[in-house]
A and B are shown apart, each in its own frame.
Chain A
């Protein structure tokens, strides 16, 4: 994948799919309506956040799980 826009656009359907197909997550109508609405609301917000001018880069190498426990130290 060479497009930042495609990457961002891919993440939203992943969320939709996880919500639609996840089992044992919604027990009542009202609860489900609330969740679906907020997913929808996030989508709109995220689409405005995506900077389309960065479609062709730059791209950055990230650690991906940079929690404090992954650092190895010596005391001086």
Chain B
């Protein structure tokens, strides 16, 4: 196969180095599932093969291994997923739920207590959530009036 062109540049932009990440679809795993540490490790196995190709090509064309070294460092601790998630806020809940709970807290056994302490620690948290729930009710009523179907994210 010969690569002829790369299409659809409408999202192209200049980003800080940490947000320059390799394709996350190498293992054909959804982003939601990549939030699981074991799926990310699975991805890295294939990524390392990809990285070896990049390293060889870089050496051959530019006489250095800048990108390969950079990505080899940035892949640690789900680094590519954090970059992706920061730019896609709806993934934050998945990532925190599936990866950080396990990595930092060893699981979810104490999760209800952590949530309770967090909510109690700042009264504005409860106020915000109450507003969200009230908003949901008025949103649903409005949607029903318009004949739509509610599909909360």
Instruction: Give the interface of A toward B (CB within 8 A).
Output: 4, 7-8, 11-12, 14-15, 18-20, 22-29, 32-42, 45-46, 49-51, 54, 57-68, 70-76
Task: Establish whether residues A8 and B14, one from each chain, have CB atoms under 8 Å apart when the complex forms.
Answer: no
Interface residues on B, range: 35 or more
A22 CA to B128 CA, complexed, in Å: 12
Q: Which residues of B contact A65 (CB under 8 A)?
A: 8, 10-11
Q: Which residues of A contact B140 (CB under 8 A)?
A: 24, 27
Q: Which of B1-31 contact A (CB under 8 A)?
A: 1-20, 23, 25
10 A-B contact pairs sorted by A residue (CB < 8 Å): A8-B18, A20-B132, A25-B136, A26-B132, A27-B136, A37-B114, A60-B15, A60-B16, A62-B19, A72-B3
Given contacts A45-B96, A72-B5, 17 further A-B contacts (CB under 8 A): A15-B92, A24-B140, A25-B136, A29-B130, A32-B132, A33-B119, A36-B129, A38-B97, A42-B85, A45-B100, A54-B18, A62-B14, A66-B6, A68-B23, A68-B25, A72-B6, A73-B4
